[in-house]
A and B are shown apart, each in its own frame.
Chain A
């Protein structure tokens, strides 16, 4: 490891030497997956205590189906939140694209591709509008996407009463077919996930999204066309919601406006935040989001299996989300980045020993120095 000490900055270093070796930090994504494993273990235990098997084919299928629906929406939401934006219109986009797909296909297998393209085009169009309103008209993303969402809602409510259109049997397979316990939709989700990871971590567009969310002025001063990044993120987000709409249409065999009541907007945001992406933008990952979705789906599954009351379900979900974010917030405060001038002070103030270039006795032990700086060292 090429980490010698040329940047020997004792002001920060020594504070740590008094408090013992620094613990290695686990990445946020690592923590989320640990939490996921923990929840799966607890769930399995609880279900087993009632004589059931949490990992039965049926349960796994339920878990994965739950995952795939929210998964698409949450992956999209990740792009947007990384850019320090937000999309509250995703639920309406899911509903609208399900209707566009079902009415365009109208039960005719030869029109499947037309329906898919039409649904995704409508979704992408909504994302484009969201992105333009936010980046060009400078409307706060919360308000912009809420407004666009309401417009879509009004249109859907007046235009479609009840289920409309018909999905051909061939396309319904997208909703139902599975290979072993793995639904096709999960495989599609995995593909979208890989594409998203590649986009975020291997392309300039992705790099620039992180930059725009981290500090838009820095991004702009570095020559990044920040408007483009924001628009792209919103188009991708809506496209993902469009795929979720196709999936839901395939499952129902028809399109339905009431899908927007399923709460994909807030649930997707919860999954993203649970997955360790900062709501303030600039940091996060799709893999984390997937873990967040899996956690929510696991909770859903175990609650279902255990027949927990819906009220308690929501209480527990809410508590878990808040606890997770509180934990991230604590980790956010990085002692190394604060501009302390006198952190190493305990040594120089101490009588004797400190001037001759030798380590003061005991400074390498874990005990805090005699002055009150112990408080600072541990913070």
Chain B
């Protein structure tokens, strides 16, 4: 039995168990969801798709009871509901598996599944019953590789995710929503999840499946709902839509038109930064070049490994394979400090956590890199800071203002100033326009043009496809930790999206061999060799797993 056959087989008729009508949500004056309708039926796997920022996560959090909708109604079994908390939602049979797990790594599977409602006998926790019930549940779901006594921290990400799902099932969840459940999984681990989803569907559980990966959606889901920029676009049966059309539905908005044109005088020069076969645990086989005066974009879905390339180049999580060439010479970058010394700069994705000392002043932040890497000459070089800040149109009353009180756009300008003052020859920009206003975005784009005119090489990581299309000289698309391909400047968003989601190769079916899940005890060593497409035989590592329970 394969999961791909199940997609057509399940019946999804009948009354919806969960019905949303006209759901809207406003955050700080920004309307992020408007008029969302959604019907979820028992035994249905319902995909929720859309670009980054389309509102999928917000909608999921509303269903989970994390956020309250500002408008619209939510009905469970035809009765209006309003969940006060995730706990209330769970009690009503609506469970959510978020990307960051709600698990205690130091506790066992059973202790996690029954957390907060441990069965008791005579006032004492009935650990035996807890273990038996958990094992029964695991066996029922065909999960023979997991046992109630295993410490959650020793499990793989896929297995932890499964523990989350098992926990949801133990609450008698009738609706389980999963937020990008495969984002952090290796291909082989995905199969395990597929099998479990198929099991749950067979039991009549409704599954709301948020994913970017078209292959999964077409393999697993019965129904697809598309969101775009916070609006409901359509709901359709999977059978009635093609991957191409789905991608067109997800993207394709009018061109915003505030991207500065490239100065025709800017011509890519010599190769500044090159990666040859670079890889570590997160990315693999990365070959790329960025020339002086060139903007190369790294596009791809969240979690596809774009940031990991930035971290590898910058020595935050160094590559363990391959070579980094700077101006044609191989270099080793094993720390951020070395990277700065080599003339690299990294504007990080999360400016609050990784880019700024929030409680310090603008000038202190702008000097941060200078002071730590070139202390001897920092005073002299810091004299350039006021000029850089004013060239970026930083709006603030005083250079002594704490950066935490600045707007996102102005904060980003401080981060940029901090790097510009080091005079880098290669700049990696990781989501440089995330969460900043239009004016600040324009300033960032202008700056990119100015820098390239000066011969700086820019590697731009961005989830905003219009930005990628308008700004980049070349577009590299990442998928699952590898480069999926290169596209020329001006490629359309649909092509990028198709490459990033793997829409082109739906032919490559992922077969889920359920028999692999039912390997009888003792056949552990022989059976799984046929299962794995990669050819690596699975080691029966659970057999060697620590059996010593943490004692009291």
Bound-state CA distance A283–B524 (Å) is 32
List residues 328-379 of chain A with CB under 8 A from any CB of chain B.
Answer: 334, 336-345, 347-349, 353-360, 363, 371-373, 375-376
Judged by a CB distance under 8 angstroms, whether A197 is at the interface is yes
Residues of chain A from 269 to 312 with CB closer than 8 A to chain B in the complex: 278, 282-283, 285-287
Query: When the two chains form the complex, which single residue of B157, B279, B520, B531 contacts A339, counting CB atoms closer than 8 Å?
Result: B157
Q: Which of A212-240 contact B (CB under 8 A)?
A: 214-215, 217-219, 221-224
Are B105's CB and A337's CB within 8 A?
yes
Q: From residue B164, how far is it (CB to closest CB) to chain A in Å?
A: 11
Q: How far is the CA of A116 from the CA of B531 in the complex (A)?
A: 67
Q: How far is the CA of A287 from the CA of B551 in the complex (A)?
A: 8
Q: Does A5 contact B (CB under 8 A)?
A: yes
A203: chain B residues within 8 A (beta carbon): 123-125
Say yes or no: B282 contacts A202, CB within 8 Å: no
Contact among B102, B284, B536 with A347 in the assembled complex (CB-CB below 8 Å): B536
Are B480 and A341 within 8 A (Cβ)?
yes
Q: How far is the CA of A373 from the CA of B103 in the complex (A)?
A: 30
Report the interface size class on chain B: 35 or more
- B268 contacts the other chain (CB 8 A): no
The interface residues of chain B lying within 8 Å CB-to-CB of A278 are 106
Nearest B-chain residue to A21, judged by Cβ = B544
Instruction: Tell me if B438 is interfacial: C-beta within 8 Å of chain A.
Output: no
Write the chain B residue with the least CB distance to A341: B481
Interface string of B92-121 (1 = CB under 8 A from A): 000000000011111100010001111010
CB <8 Å contact, B539 and A13: yes
Q: Per-residue CB proximity of A139-177 to B under 8 Å, as 1/0? A: 000000000000000000000000000000000000000
Residues of A within 8 A of B345 (CB): none
A10 on the B face (CB < 8 A): yes
Instruction: Decide yes or no whether A8 CB sits under 8 A from chain B.
Output: yes
Given contacts A202-B125, A287-B552, contact A337 B153 (CB under 8 A): yes
Stretch at the interface among A23-31, A57-65, A258-266: A23-31
A110 contacts chain B at the CB level, 8 A cutoff: no
Q: Which of B69-77, B495-503, B511-519 contacts A (4 or more CB under 8 A)?
A: B511-519
How many angstroms between the C-alpha atoms of A360 and B180 in the bound complex?
33
Does B145 contact A8, Cβ atoms closer than 8 Å? yes
- Is A347 touching B104 in the complex (CB atoms < 8 A)? no
Cβ–Cβ contact A8 & B528, under 8 A: yes
Query: Which chain A residue has the least Cβ–Cβ distance from B148?
Result: A2
B189 within 8 A of A: yes
Task: Name the distance in Å between B137's Cβ and chain A's nearest Cβ.
Answer: 14
Q: Which residues of A contact B79 (CB under 8 A)?
A: none
Q: Is A3 a contact partner of B548 (Cβ separation < 8 A)?
A: no
Q: Report chain A residues within 8 Å CB of B184.
A: 339
Question: Contacts A22-B541, A223-B116, A337-B153 given: A4-B536 contact, CB under 8 Å?
Answer: no
Across-interface contacts of A30 in B (CB, < 8 A)? 548, 551
Q: Pick the contact of A218 from B104, B158, B283 — CB < 8 Å?
A: B104
Closest B residue to A23 using CB positions: B544
A223 and B540 within 8 A (CB): no
Q: In the complex, what residues of B have CB within 8 A of residue A345's CB?
A: 279, 284
A354 and B156 contacting across the interface, CB-CB below 8 Å = no
The residue among A9, A12, A353 with the most chain B CB atoms within 10 A of its own CB is A9
* Residues of the A chain whose Cβ atoms lie less than 8 Å from the Cβ of B127: 202
Cα distance A376–B280 in the bound complex, in angstroms = 9
Asked if A334 contacts B154 (CB within 8 A), the reply is yes
Identify which of residues 80-125 in chain A touch chain B, using a CB-to-CB cut-off of 8 Å.
none
Complex CA–CA separation, A340 to B158 (angstroms): 11
- Say yes or no: is A267 at the interface (Cβ < 8 Å to chain B): no
* With A7-B192, A219-B116, A373-B320 as contacts: A283 and B550 at CB distance below 8 Å: yes
Contacts of A7 in B (CB 8 A): 143, 145-146, 156, 158-159, 162, 192, 542
B149 to chain A, nearest CB (A): 10
B29 an interface residue at 8 Å Cβ cutoff?
A: no
Chain B nearest Cβ from A331, distance in angstroms = 11
- Asked if A27 and B551 sit within 8 Å, CB to CB, the answer is yes
- B156 pairs with A9, CB closer than 8 A: yes
A17 at the A/B interface (Cβ < 8 Å)? yes
Distance of A159 Cα from B124 Cα, bound (Å): 44
Residue from A200, A208, A222 having most chain B Cβ neighbours under 10 A: A222
Tell me the B residues contacting A by CB distance below 8 Å. 86-87, 102-107, 111, 115-118, 120, 123-125, 127, 135, 142-147, 153-159, 162, 184, 186, 188-189, 192, 279-285, 305, 320-321, 480-481, 516-524, 527-532, 534-552
The 9 closest A-B pairs by CB, nearest first: A7-B145, A222-B116, A8-B538, A340-B281, A3-B542, A6-B145, A17-B539, A214-B104, A11-B186
What would 10 more interface pairs be, CB under 8 Å, given A215-B104, A342-B279, A354-B535? A1-B543, A1-B547, A5-B538, A9-B192, A24-B544, A219-B116, A221-B86, A282-B106, A336-B155, A341-B481
Could you list some 29 contacts between A and B, CB below 8 A? A3-B145, A3-B540, A3-B543, A4-B519, A6-B146, A7-B145, A8-B145, A8-B188, A8-B528, A9-B192, A12-B156, A27-B550, A203-B123, A207-B125, A208-B116, A211-B104, A218-B115, A221-B87, A222-B87, A222-B117, A278-B106, A287-B552, A337-B155, A339-B184, A354-B535, A355-B535, A357-B532, A360-B536, A371-B321
